[in-house]
Structure 1
């Protein structure tokens, strides 16, 4: 996350955005998030403030997913109690997801030197097998689209997951 914004003694982390071409017209700004939090009952606003910061500073993927899950449950309860509208709930989630999307997009595409052991696609280029942030290689969709955990020799370890769109 990029930095901390101070406002009336409170701090709210601002998601890191490195893509200037991203359309953010419907995303809430830090100021708008603060305004929304101040419009809520004090205890609810403070709790939501803490949860937003927890998501924004959580490391991905595990801790981030857990913090985001807790935020989603809390926001759903606030919506059910008619405290936060569905539209505001979506905007708050989008606010914290900007940092997640930036983090995921920062991973470099790496070609696997052996091609795909599942379908045999064998002309390794930058597009053949791509490595994701969890250490899985993905074969191109126009080949087999397999999701593979490979060892250092390019052999499938344990299982192969076939992905479908």
Structure 2
């Protein structure tokens, strides 16, 4: 049996995130495979033995599209496609929506992503039934999240 003394982990962005690195220090390749299979942030990975006592782990991280800032916990929830939670953070450069503990509104997040792409504004807030965004020109925009259509049958 080969004794592994060091695990070297890299992602497409450089070093592996600290939360993954700390989990990988088990120094057992079967456990490492299970950890990486179960990790929400990891899309794919490869493990390679390097002589004399090292494992090289290359991971492909899923990319977060947007975030939700929870006022109660003061933490950003990082979300990928289809409301997939990829992790948490104390700060973010992603477009985000501020809200109180509710389930993230995917429509509001998609709107915020569009506002970010057009105006480089990354912050919006859920107020009542709308998304409130302040543009760089100091214009405050309220984007409705629900539309009620009334029509006359006559």
TM-score by length of 1: 0.29
- The alignment's TM-score, normalised by the length of structure 2, stands at 0.30
Q: Which has the higher strand share?
A: 2
